[in-house]
Structure 1
Amino acid sequence: MIIKQEHLVESIYSSLQYISYYHSPDFIKAMVLAYENETNQSAKNAISQILINSKMCALGKRPICQDTGIVNVFIEVGMDVTWDSELSLEEMVNEGVRRAYNDSNNLLRASIVSDPLFSRKNTQDNTPAVIHTKFVKGNTLDITVAAKGGGSENKSKFTVLNPDDNLTDWILKTIPTMGAGWCPPGIIGIGVGGTAEKAMLMAKSVLMEPIDINKIKDKTEHTNIESLRIDLFDKINNLGIGAQGLGGLTTVLDVKIQDHPTHAASLPVAMIPNCAATRHVHFSLDGSGVAELPEIDMSLYPDLEMDISKYTKVDLNILTQSQMDDWNIGDTLLLSGTIITGRDAAHKRLKSMLESGEGLPNGVNFDNKFIYYVGPVEAVGDEVIGPAGPTTATRMDKFTDMMLENTGILGMIGKAERGDSTIESIKKHKASYLIAVGGAAYLISKSIKKAKVVAFEEMGMEAIYELEVKDMPVTVAVDTSGENIHKAATSIPVTYSS
């Protein structure tokens, strides 16, 4: 078979556009089941928003999450394949990535920076991809394309156990240390054996397999690996972390395990989570043209709408600190008014400006406002802003005391838990920390009615925006007395047998 350059480039492009707005059917089914079974109201609300967001994205063909990921491509090249191409395989893949992320009809956020230790300059087109190539018998290309969000990627874990150590013990000890920044519910990939790099590669690649844990459970006989998967699935969910770390019955939708022969003195173990914006698709090329991608059955989605009667409306423009004293963790709010955004790089520059005596940038006024940790997708068409879900708040912990002491902010909006010292700072300043649902970026963006860059425009997604919001859904995660929903959700000790 002759594989043409344009067919591969176009297939990479179309697959990345496809996974930016389509969840796979197995994921939708697993999330619907999780929603139906959930008894924790905060977690059920989060799962509902993720499903509503997913359906909106499928219909509107806009990204599920503002973090449109680092591209991972797994390619099995048939040894009988011949090429009609002027570009190398890597160059063809990256050309497809470049086209996908710069498509004016559905712009995707460019998050990749070169020179990672020093200048960290954005490449502007999300290249280069991370490409894994394997040569196999045959005359086709089998390709899996994934877009992996930074929040889940940052929670990857690796260890080398002793051969007689208990894998389950290590996993159940490690999962709680990952917090909620990986946006559960999602999938856990585990690679066991080989070498360090082999274990990590297996943990990543096994995430691309279909969600099938309930089918495995229904079997009358199980392999050792299947039995381990079931055991870990049940025990991880019994930890009570739940959707977005809010507690509840479903932390993982599946646990996938792949192993490989290893050295007699070693037991390398890698664990990588996939978030609620799980994005991947598989296709084959046989020389006949561009890949055909699966149709999405919209009937898989339940008929869900946000029940705003369960939310308290808050006017941010007249909100006072004393009014926030009435909030309790778990309260659901609809925010209206002005908020200011800021992410890692913006906080770093603000710190430098405050320490030098320069003060805040012209046009930036945090006084009596909330700061929203977000790096939105660029708007297309008549949009005010593109998908604009929260980023992991933990990364901003080291700046929180500075912001509360020097800018007059009332609090922060992000996702996932905060560190102990940050909780103390929030309590000291009588501030609040609110969480928006990671994995509901397009839904959240519809509550943003005006958006303008007010500082650091040259930093792209890291720029500071002033947003006018109307009924933006959030949950109180840390109240003014320092009560913390993420700690409360997992405060009941869980015992298990090794």
Structure 2
Amino acid sequence: MCVIREGDFIDSIADAFQFISYYHPLDFIEALYAAYQLEQNPAAKDAMAQILVNSRLCAEGKRPICQDTGIAVVFLKIGMQVRWDSAMSLQAMVDEGVRRAYNHPDNRLRASVLHDPAGARTNSQDNTPAVVHVEMVPGDQVEVICAAKGGGSENKTKLAMLNPSDSIVDWVLKTVPTMGAGWCPPGILGIGIGGTPEKAVLMAKESLMAPIDIHKLRARGPQTTAEKLRLELYEKVNALGIGAQGLGGLTTVLDVKIMDYPTHAASLPVAMVPNCAATRHVHFHLDGSGPAKLTPPSLASFPQIPYDTSHGRQVNLDQLTSAEIAHWRPGDELLLSGRLLTGRDAAHQRLKALLDQGQPLPVDLHNRFIYYVGPVDPVRDEVVGPAGPTTATRMDKFTPQMLAQTGLLGMVGKAERGPVAIEAIKHHGAVYLMAVGGAAYLVSKAIKSARVVAFEDLGMEAIYEFEVQDMPVTVAVDSRGESVHETGPKTWQLKIAAMQSLENA
């Protein structure tokens, strides 16, 4: 019988969430690097390079891989013979560990958890409460998995109650393209099959905690129905040509994970949860001997990829005109310098309210660009913490009014835009630029100063003004309404099909 002390458990949780904020699992890095070496689409290859370089920078500087440092998820498997030396509940102990991790003075993490989700949506300020899953198992140890899941990938979770005769493969292949690129591919798909609806979703989430091993499975061959399904989906999802960041390419998923459970004769629940390029989880055991000892990966394990931040067309944001952006085309690589405003969901809601009331805005948006970002707080000598883009489609409903009434010239965000936003961009001759999701620390290196200019009470959702120098972006929707996220995947789906035809000939 082992006794788990309160302090050891809390310290282990705190250390784990700090650890995963800046260390990718090495299996992910190895799989991404292998995909990078095979990639033939220059835009997708560049996106993967940014993610890999960002990962090494974060490991070296111990700063977050992504500005969205995630909602804290903890899986606990508690041995039936374990005793606890604590007056606190499991939830309270986990929350205290999360609280300490996210408020760590040397690596403060972004607090994204909001209370009263259907109402005031006030920030808890410390990323609590965590989401805790508990299973009682035989034994006298505690197995712990800590994961940080960002909103971009969580929001793409899908659940379907299929008929028993329906094809799971067909559902996945129909559903993945509807997820867009907001989940930051290349990543991992977790699929839960069977049980009940809530069981299927939980299995899909838990399956993502396993190491990437699709290459080993391909080498030895499948032995179960689930393994056959994994291989089939891995090949067919990648054949969709979605590619890194949705730009089109050979690799959309690095692995497909599946867990299943017996289900009702009339049912076939299927859930799909993606893990993004900021895959973050760590596993450890507690046996009563003290807190967990987490071993950092060797920096020698990270690939040395030379990344030239000077390639791309130089753009001065302070002198930019509509006439100049009219010459940009989807896929063009740009380096932004000058003043760049920020704003995401909460800020856009307030701007909309002021516009609806005919009130003046707190900041002049004429001929300006807005960057959809909620940065991490700075530490040490930083002007801002990691500051990668958030999913742009959440701002689509605001875009027509913003372009029509403010003189806004363009927007910078992550992934694709929807039809409403694209039509507004085309109508007003504006432009949408894409920054790489999963490269937040690398992006922050281009930000030379930062100050809050409006809505300071919103915290990370306030409007900042950044002074940027050579910030790398790609033209995603040009002033004519052409989107690289529509043309890229279609092009590469055809190319992959042609490659497969040659291989099978």
TM-score normalised to structure 1 length: 0.98
Residue range with higher mean Cα deviation, 282-291 or 80-89: 80-89
Separation in 2 of the partners of 1:187 and 1:158?
A: 17
1:269 alignment counterpart: 270
The answer to whether the aligner puts 1:491 opposite 2:490 as a matched pair is yes
Task: Confirm or deny: 8 A CA contact 1:32 1:301 kept in the other structure.
Answer: no
SS in 2 for 1:310: coil
Separation in 2 of the partners of 1:55 and 1:432?
A: 32
1:405 alignment counterpart: 404
Task: Confirm or deny: 8 A CA contact 1:453 1:466 kept in the other structure.
Answer: yes
SS in 1 for 2:223: coil
Task: Confirm or deny: 8 A CA contact 2:71 2:150 kept in the other structure.
Answer: yes
Return the letter of the residue paired with 1:122. Answer: N
Distance 1:246 1:55, change over 3 A: same
1:419 alignment counterpart: 418
Separation in 2 of the partners of 1:136 and 1:82?
A: 13
Separation in 2 of the partners of 1:153 and 1:415?
A: 15
Residue segments in structure 2 that go unaligned for 5+ positions in a row: 501-505
Separation in 1 of the partners of 2:453 and 2:3?
A: 52
1:128 alignment counterpart: 129
The sequence identity of aligned pairs, in percent, is 61
Q: Report matched runs for 1:143-154 at 5 Å.
A: 143-154=144-155
Return the letter of the residue paired with 2:472. Answer: P
Aligned-pair distance for 1:299?
1.8
1:482 alignment counterpart: 481
The answer to whether the aligner puts 1:21 opposite 2:22 as a matched pair is yes
1:386 alignment counterpart: 385
Return the letter of the residue paired with 2:208. Answer: L
Aligned-pair distance for 1:422?
1.1
Aligned-pair distance for 1:468?
0.4
Aligned-pair distance for 1:479?
0.7
- Kindly report the root-mean-square deviation, in angstroms, between the aligned alpha carbons of the 2 structures: 1.2
2:430 alignment counterpart: 431
Residue range with higher mean Cα deviation, 109-118 or 288-297: 288-297
Separation in 2 of the partners of 1:31 and 1:225?
A: 23
Separation in 2 of the partners of 1:410 and 1:268?
A: 45
Q: Deviations over 1:417-466 (max 9, x none)?
A: 11112111101111110000000000000100010000110111110001
Aligned-pair distance for 1:338?
0.5
Return the letter of the residue paired with 1:352. Answer: A
Separation in 1 of the partners of 2:140 and 2:393?
A: 47
1:194 alignment counterpart: 195
Distance 1:474 1:221, change over 3 A: closer
Return the letter of the residue paired with 2:175. Answer: T
Aligned-pair distance for 1:222?
2.8
Task: Confirm or deny: 8 A CA contact 2:310 2:335 kept in the other structure.
Answer: no
The answer to whether the aligner puts 1:164 opposite 2:145 as a matched pair is no
Separation in 2 of the partners of 1:223 and 1:81?
A: 34
Separation in 1 of the partners of 2:452 and 2:226?
A: 51
1:203 alignment counterpart: 204
Aligned-pair distance for 1:225?
1.3
SS in 1 for 2:119: coil
SS in 2 for 1:412: strand
Distance 1:309 1:129, change over 3 A: closer
1:367 alignment counterpart: 366
Aligned-pair distance for 1:402?
1.0
Task: Confirm or deny: 8 A CA contact 1:77 1:135 kept in the other structure.
Answer: yes
Q: Report matched runs for 1:312-351 at 5 Å.
A: 312-351=313-352
SS in 2 for 1:227: helix
Aligned-pair distance for 1:86?
1.9
Task: Confirm or deny: 8 A CA contact 1:77 1:136 kept in the other structure.
Answer: yes
Separation in 2 of the partners of 1:72 and 1:22?
A: 17
Separation in 2 of the partners of 1:220 and 1:2?
A: 43
Residue range with higher mean Cα deviation, 416-425 or 465-474: 416-425
Q: Report matched runs for 1:346-357 at 5 Å.
A: 346-357=347-358
Aligned-pair distance for 1:319?
1.1
Residue segments in structure 1 that go unaligned for 5+ positions in a row: none
Aligned-pair distance for 1:221?
5.0
Distance 1:33 1:68, change over 3 A: same
The answer to whether the aligner puts 1:446 opposite 2:460 as a matched pair is no
Separation in 2 of the partners of 1:219 and 1:419?
A: 42
Aligned-pair distance for 1:223?
2.1
Aligned-pair distance for 1:306?
2.1
SS in 2 for 1:314: strand
SS in 2 for 1:490: helix
2:470 alignment counterpart: 471
SS in 1 for 2:319: coil
Aligned-pair distance for 1:192?
0.2
2:57 alignment counterpart: 56
Count of residue pairs brought into register by the alignment: 495
The answer to whether the aligner puts 1:87 opposite 2:88 as a matched pair is yes
Task: Confirm or deny: 8 A CA contact 1:345 1:462 kept in the other structure.
Answer: yes
Aligned-pair distance for 1:300?
2.2
Q: Report matched runs for 1:104-123 at 5 Å.
A: 104-123=105-124
Separation in 2 of the partners of 1:429 and 1:169?
A: 39
SS in 2 for 1:409: coil
SS in 1 for 2:355: helix
TM-score normalised to structure 2 length: 0.97
Q: Deviations over 1:133-158 (max 9, x none)?
A: 00001110000000000000000000
Return the letter of the residue paired with 2:404. Answer: E
Aligned-pair distance for 1:309?
5.2
Q: Deviations over 1:289-317 (max 9, x none)?
A: 01011330222222213224531111111
Separation in 1 of the partners of 2:300 and 2:48?
A: 18
Separation in 1 of the partners of 2:465 and 2:488?
A: 33
Distance 1:220 1:237, change over 3 A: closer
Task: Confirm or deny: 8 A CA contact 1:216 1:222 kept in the other structure.
Answer: no
SS in 2 for 1:208: coil
SS in 1 for 2:283: strand
Q: Deviations over 1:368-405 (max 9, x none)?
A: 11100000000011100000000000000000011111
Task: Confirm or deny: 8 A CA contact 1:70 1:149 kept in the other structure.
Answer: yes
2:257 alignment counterpart: 256
1:34 alignment counterpart: 35
SS in 1 for 2:402: helix
Task: Confirm or deny: 8 A CA contact 2:157 2:272 kept in the other structure.
Answer: yes
